[in-house]
Homo-oligomer: A and B are copies of this chain.
Amino acid sequence: MQAVILAAGQGKRFMGEGQTPKPLVLLLGLTLLERSILSCRNAGIDELIVVLGHRSEEISPLLSEWEKRHRVRIFPVENRSWREGNGTSALAAASHVSGQFLLLMADHVFAPAVIPRLIAATGGSGSCWLLVDPRLRYDTDPDFTRVRLDDNKITDIGKGISPYDAVDTGIFLCGEALFAALAQSTGAGDGSLTGGIKRLATAGQMRAVDIGPHYWMDVDTKQRLKQAERKLINNLPKPHQDGFIATFINRPLSVRLSAALARRPFLSRRLTPNTLSLVSLLIILAGAGLFAVTGYTGTLIAGILIQFGSILDGCDGELARLTFRESRFGAWLDTILDRYGDIAVSTVITYAGWIQHPSPWIWAGGIIAMAGLLLAGYTKKEYQIRYKESLPNTGWAKLIKRDLRLFMLFIGAVAGHPYCALLAMGLLSHIGIWRLFHNGLRLRGHQSDEPPTAK
């Protein structure tokens, strides 16, 4: 599939002449236009038609740079009539697309998940589709383009219309019918995209898809840019996956750190999320090493390093999401490196415990505790494979998460008893594993695709 991105407008309300053209405004280290391009790429669309107009000479050279850096194909199209409205910009792309295509505005920021959502909802059908936001149907902002709906059919669209059911997000999935409608409306003197869409709506060819829980924003003022940044940052935590300590301590700190990194493109472009995973491991390993040093100061610094490593452990995924660099390999690397960190910390804490009380029971306890930590993760994976869904993030599931484990070791180090904290976490993990079993047992009876008798 192809995507057309309109980046021809002036963005007058955003700022005066002489400053950065609006598509090149930076939002957390990436330009607005790059964010649209990368959202498409991550949805599997790698052929992009970018329509330029206002100050195209400044944007154009960057496109070929991005083509290489982001591994996409970008075809720039110049629209000399951009002053006549964004409909003429869409029309300028007509000869470059065939079949269904995505139509985006360069200055709209949105959750990457909305593109797959739009494509899935339309199911390859021939109409033109607009992603709309019904949550804003009571918002009276005069800048919103409003949409009136009859079921999922758009019956009217425009800034002034009332009553209305939703707001136009500027994210379209269109067929070539759009160009015919635009040719008519521009011919009749209306150069706006909305003019063409209105004609399609009148012909009964325009349908709406609900944006669902996802965010989007039309960045047309500096204040909106700030709001968009906040939206991006607020969407970094994963409330359905995060544990107690992650929610209240680690995430609030790590998202600030990730945002600070993302804001420095020179740094964030060189610092891959995988490197961050490695840095987090190195800090944890340094902390582990310090546990071997006798004396309270070493133990305290070790504990602090481990907690810092735990916070930094959130940044790899966050930076990846902020800069469109998520990968399954990265997620995999992160989880395996985390386990190596856990092994190192448990081993050295046990060694330090044995130095103080040289009994084989100290070692046996340490081994069993470490096995609990590793098995907790193992059991969660096994659950996910067998039941084809993640373990529900219940209180018990949160008790066997890494954020809590490392925090408890940090507290144990502060209290001068890291070995006791290790034993406590190990015990908790083993109990957690057997709780999971208990849940598995109960689940057993409710799975419809399960043979009725137990294996």
Which residue of the partner chain, among B42, B326, B360, contacts A354 with CB atoms under 8 Å? B360
Task: Tell me which residues across on chain B come within 8 A of A450, comparing CB atoms.
Answer: 327-329
Q: Which residue of B lies closest to A331 (CB)?
A: B386
A residues 369-416 near B (Cβ < 8 Å) are: 370-371, 374-375, 377-379, 381-387
Any B CB within 8 A of the CB of A62: no
Shortest CB distance A253–B (Å): 21
Which residue of the partner chain, among B42, B335, B368, B386, contacts A328 with CB atoms under 8 Å? B386
Which residue of the partner chain, among B324, B327, B367, B454, contacts A274 with CB atoms under 8 Å? B454
Any B CB within 8 A of the CB of A217: no
Task: Tell me which residues across on chain B come within 8 A of A448, comparing CB atoms.
Answer: 44
Shortest CB distance A345–B (Å): 11
Q: Which residue of B lies closest to A366 (CB)?
A: B367
Contact between chains at A451 and B324 (CB < 8 Å):
yes
Any B CB within 8 A of the CB of A453: yes
Any B CB within 8 A of the CB of A333: yes
Q: Which residue of B lies closest to A386 (CB)?
A: B328
Any B CB within 8 A of the CB of A155: no
Contact between chains at A454 and B329 (CB < 8 Å):
yes
Any B CB within 8 A of the CB of A295: no
Contact between chains at A336 and B437 (CB < 8 Å):
yes
Give a binary string over A21-62; 1 marks a CB under 8 Å from any B CB, 0 the rest.
000000000000000000001101010000000000000000
Task: Tell me which residues across on chain B come within 8 A of A360, comparing CB atoms.
Answer: 351, 354, 363
Q: Which residue of B lies closest to A343 (CB)?
A: B371
A386 to B330, CA, bound (A): 10
A27 to B283, CA, bound (A): 61
A441 to B330, CA, bound (A): 10
Any B CB within 8 A of the CB of A339: yes
Interface size class of A (residues with CB under 8 A): 35 or more
Of residues A41, A347, A451, which shows the largest number of chain B Cβ atoms within 10 Å of its Cβ? A451
Which residue of the partner chain, among B316, B347, B385, B452, contacts A385 with CB atoms under 8 Å? B385
Shortest CB distance A312–B (Å): 16
Shortest CB distance A179–B (Å): 30
Any B CB within 8 A of the CB of A314: no
Q: Which residue of B lies closest to A364 (CB)?
A: B347
Which residue of the partner chain, among B46, B320, B384, B443, contacts A455 with CB atoms under 8 Å? B320
Task: Tell me which residues across on chain B come within 8 A of A375, comparing CB atoms.
Answer: 336, 339-340, 343, 374
Contact between chains at A368 and B381 (CB < 8 Å):
no
Any B CB within 8 A of the CB of A95: no
Task: Tell me which residues across on chain B come within 8 A of A452, comparing CB atoms.
Answer: 41, 46, 70-72
A residues 334-353 near B (Cβ < 8 Å) are: 335-336, 339-340, 343, 346-347, 350-351
A102 to B453, CA, bound (A): 22
Any B CB within 8 A of the CB of A209: no
A360 to B330, CA, bound (A): 35
Shortest CB distance A3–B (Å): 15
A339 to B440, CA, bound (A): 17
Contact between chains at A327 and B71 (CB < 8 Å):
no
Task: Tell me which residues across on chain B come within 8 A of A331, comparing CB atoms.
Answer: 386, 455
List the interface of chain A (C-beta within 8 A of B): 41-42, 44, 46, 70-72, 272-274, 316, 320, 324-333, 335-336, 339-340, 343, 346-347, 350-351, 354, 360, 363-364, 366-368, 370-371, 374-375, 377-379, 381-387, 433, 437, 440-441, 443-444, 447-455
The 7 A-B pairs of least Cβ separation, nearest first, read A330-B455, A327-B455, A381-B381, A71-B452, A363-B363, A343-B371, A328-B386
Knowing that A72-B452, A324-B451 touch, tell me 19 more A-B residue pairs with CB under 8 angstroms: A70-B453, A71-B453, A272-B454, A273-B455, A274-B454, A327-B453, A327-B455, A328-B444, A329-B441, A329-B443, A333-B440, A339-B375, A339-B378, A347-B371, A360-B363, A363-B367, A367-B367, A378-B378, A381-B381
26 cross-chain CB contacts under 8 A: A46-B452, A70-B452, A72-B452, A272-B454, A273-B455, A320-B455, A327-B444, A327-B451, A327-B454, A328-B447, A329-B444, A333-B440, A336-B379, A339-B375, A343-B371, A347-B364, A351-B360, A354-B360, A363-B366, A363-B367, A367-B370, A370-B370, A378-B381, A381-B381, A384-B385, A385-B385
